[in-house]
Structure 1
């Protein structure tokens, strides 16, 4: 495949298959946790972190107090807060350390990943599975032909936008009113 349209079709088909096979009950639970939290923190590494930063920004547009772990203005976490961990494998060292610390602080931890049986499961109160596998065992699992973990990062970003849209619809938020939360120093 060297044709742009073919390559784009592969990518969009993979993303569509992945998002169509996410468990909606897992998403409802995550939205409930976001709504109940005083502050929502995000942790991940690499391109996953970039997707999480986009999700944090979008939720901030909805009035949610969001913070990315490590940002200079990050406040203290408390038992009233939620940590959202993005880690496909659930084995990435830094997110595991932060999830452990969040649990020590009695915060809620939600993991978005591909492996429900990962090391992260010992800290996660909730799990949202993006059904991506390099070796699919079921029809719901999507095998990616993209380099590295691109499908996970892409699906994570769009999952965040899907969650934001669900919150907007559920709470009947007037889209024009969201501009009050948008950056205005640009």
Structure 2
């Protein structure tokens, strides 16, 4: 059963990632490069995926913060907020996006719902066309529980974005260790 389930999950991920707009990902990279500081916000397993992206961006030399961490500085118009919310209706990410927008920060939303309340505060929407709790049209159904496919896709997109940055900037992988935690 392990090999069967593995193939099914990998097929779902391949289908989803092939439907993400590559131009949107290029725009994400441009906004990350323009930003003085990058912030990420989400809840639950989405937050875990974004924390992994934040850590990897830090390894690439970016100044990155997870919203709510004790050392989080003030956001400004020079900064970028990356929001993860499949529905675009989760209260905490929605309110943080609204607040960041009010300070003039750029806001990027990774989500599945192109018609969410998040649109009012978002500069760029990256659609991950997966099944949500809203059961919208054009969603890719999943055999996995709840929103696992969204969280997995977001995690992989974070790594894809970081590898694209590495390739575009021609960074030397061995040099990135200088940014890795060393108090472990």
**TM category, shorter:** over 0.9
Aligned residue number for residue 35 of structure 1: 33
Aligned residue number for residue 48 of structure 2: 50
Instruction: Please list every run of 5 or more consecutive structure 2 residues that lacks an aligned counterpart in the other structure.
Output: none
User: How far 1:48 moved relative to its partner?
Assistant: 0.3
TM-score (norm 1): 0.95
Q: Secondary structure at the match of 1:84?
A: strand
The answer to whether the Cα contact below 8 Å between 2:50 and 2:155 also exists between their aligned partners in 1 is: yes
Aligned residue number for residue 9 of structure 2: 11
Aligned residue number for residue 82 of structure 1: 80
In the alignment, which of 120, 123, 131 is matched to residue 121 of structure 2? 123
Q: How does 1:86-101 map to 2 (within 5 A)?
A: 86-101=84-99
The answer to whether the Cα contact below 8 Å between 2:131 and 2:147 also exists between their aligned partners in 1 is: no
Q: Superposition RMSD on alpha carbons, in Å? A: 1.1
2:131, 2:19 → 1: CA distance? 13
Aligned residue number for residue 162 of structure 2: 164
User: How far 1:133 moved relative to its partner?
Assistant: 2.9
2:43, 2:54 → 1: CA distance? 14
Q: How does 1:136-155 map to 2 (within 5 A)?
A: 137-138=137-138, 141-155=139-153
Matched, 1:110 2:108: yes
The answer to whether the Cα contact below 8 Å between 1:136 and 1:142 also exists between their aligned partners in 2 is: no
The answer to whether the Cα contact below 8 Å between 2:59 and 2:179 also exists between their aligned partners in 1 is: yes
Aligned residue number for residue 175 of structure 1: 173
Instruction: Please list every run of 5 or more consecutive structure 1 residues that lacks an aligned counterpart in the other structure.
Output: none
Give deviations 1:114-157, integer Å, cap 9, x for gaps. 0111000110000111111365745xx42111001000000000
User: How far 1:88 moved relative to its partner?
Assistant: 0.3
User: How far 1:20 moved relative to its partner?
Assistant: 1.1
